[in-house]
Structure 1
Amino acid sequence: MFAIINGTVLTMAGPPISRGTVLVEGGKIVQVGQNIPIPRHIEVIDAAGKTVMPGLIDAHTHVGIMEEIYRIEGDDTNETSDPVTPHLRAIDAVNPSDLGFQDALAGGVTTVVTGPGSANIVGGEMVAMKTHGIVVDDMIVRFPAGLKCALGENPKRVYGSGNKMPATRMASAALLRETLVAAQNYLAKQEQATADNTVLPERNLKMEAVVRVLKKEVPLRVHAHRADDIMTAVRIAREFDLELVVEHCTEGHLIAPWLAAAGAKAVVGPIISNRAKVELMNRSLETAMALSRAGVPFAIMTDHPVVPIHYLSLSAGLAVKGGLPEEEALKAITIYAARLVGIDHRVGSLEPGKDADMIVIDRPLFDPNHQVEQVYVNGRQVIGK
């Protein structure tokens, strides 16, 4: 058991607590508030003049899968032999020794979602995991955390250039629909066999992954930058009654009311980016603000290593420059991100019963000169003294 005392505590579940206390035992938060009795003979960490807040959450990265200092040897991001690979699992590609995890901790990021890239129409299953650990299995917070799909330029470029579907946006949408229909048929056969007490159909790992989306056990997480591609994702999600998360959502500010009406969610970013391709022509710092005003649930990402993961707080700070209120920006990389990923019962805020994932910083997070002085993951100090 230990206590962090006297800091300004940002719980993300209520107003800031001045001279607050966070009491931790067994890797979990026990109490948060003012004037909490401190048990005798426990470690006490004085955070006077500091800010104590939840560890940050990056809701879309490729950390551990697209390793920074390697090329072929450490790049397991895209399986470009087939445009439909729902049965691929991020957990089988993550290298916990990737230097990106060290960078994450240095930037105060204690939880990430990582997964396949955007070469394929259906790329595989994503994972939410802690950024400190030796073995992937011990770092998992939620798996699968979503089925990664992609629309727009990337699948067209990867497969169309080889005279293979999809060479057009129409083919991209058709392949996604075809995969969902195949999974519907597979599920129907399973249900019929169960009802008739007959032999189940032969297992199909591809279909099992997609069935999880059909049952709304996990969301369909669709890479889409351009407004028309985003609306194609919305259209397909509506057709099959799916939970939709739009990844990147670069032109989301142009269609925010439509996204809100559809009940879609979004992970915005990377915000620190140039117009590297046509789809990014209308990138804007105001996207997060527009989504927030429309009532679209959202988080902010780095897309590491596209933007280094320790710049997550800077990315959220730039959204503030685009008009997003500071409190909303803080939540977009803590509790909003946790809710979007479905892990808010464990992380994203400082509340009793949640994992003791915390950071102590010397000044406000959106001050570019702030220093992350202490980082705790599961109640264990991994950075600091």
Structure 2
Amino acid sequence: MTVAPSRSLRSSAELIRAEEPVLAHNYHPLPVVVARAEGAWVEDVEGRRYLDMLAGYSALNFGHRHPALIEAAHRQLDQLTLTSRAFHNDRLAAFAESVAALTGLDMVLPMNTGAEAVESAVKVARKWAYEVKGVPADRATIVVAADNFHGRTTTIVSFSTDESARAGFGPFTPGFRVVPYNDLAALEAAIDETTAAVLIEPIQGEAGVVIPDDGYLRGVRELTARTGCLFIADEIQSGLGRTGRTLAVEHEDVVPDVVLLGKALGGGIVPVSAVVARREVLQVLRPGEHGSTFGGNPLAAAVGSAVVELLETGEFQRRAQEAGVLLRDGLSALVGKGVRGFRARGLWAGVDIDPAIGTGREISESLMREGILVKDTHGSTIRLAPPLTITNEDLRMALSTLETVLRTGSL
């Protein structure tokens, strides 16, 4: 980073202790307190630097404080930040047009968080099923995949198979059928005349960056088209350059009926999400049936438009492809040397650590002590999702550090 170090009046340990009595314990963060960041690097309150290999679960695809995005935010802050949708604002139409063009779809429903986009898509799919498909009232179903992660709201955890997300939060919302991921036969068997939509992640991120077989997404598209239901692709983590394409579904030349965007759409600055769909689908919504005070606010629209401008150049998609080769090669060299296996596409990987060496949490803590930030999931798996701006030198350094940690053990 080029910025001067900033020292807090309180140490990392003091700040972590201060959180205990006042913050709900819904996360288990690594014991690092970040105070400043730029590009692919962050700095803690004591001035120690870390390479960010998580990038806010893909919310920071363009790195911390990308100059074009910061400039767009500053410029808009001096003009207008919020009107609510009670009035029009001068940034929203351009934002919606750019997102529709980027995805090859027609209409945009702007929201804030990824979970809001998923919840909105569930409502829209049900409304479409009743008004367009002719499903009897209150009988619409949506087919989802096991091991999914679409958020943690009450409706969404109703169709999660992760007991840590479900236990203690029932009763659950009905209307969902869960089938194995990457299983077209099971999917076909679950679809009937009540099916409004199939909702899947093109790549399952939280499950450990699980990539389906070639042809699976094409099969989902063909099956949903043939049976007359919607294909909803949750691209909240996988989209906007992460996999080397603008959208992960593009690896199979698939255009869903509905695409869900979030995380990187806000550039790591503000929460921005969107339901993007064919006109026939989103036109089922009428005034008063759905809304959001902050959805489509001018600041979000300005930053989101700047994000789309970055992606329109193709630079970040190419960078994810090129650096992704380096990432895969580096991980391949570690298989059998502490890595049991991995799955990678673009600059996104799930790495299965040999449990004899350590848990995913222990390896993450060891990497943190060596200046590399990653996050564990599902026991012995760690996720790597660096900013798409990461240099080859920094990526090699991260892989070398992982090799050292695996060789010396996690403790």
TM-score by length of 2: 0.28
TM-score by length of 1: 0.30
Question: Larger strand proportion, structure 1 or 2?
Answer: 1
Question: Larger helix proportion, structure 1 or 2?
Answer: 2
Larger RCO (alpha carbons 8 Å, 6+ apart): 2
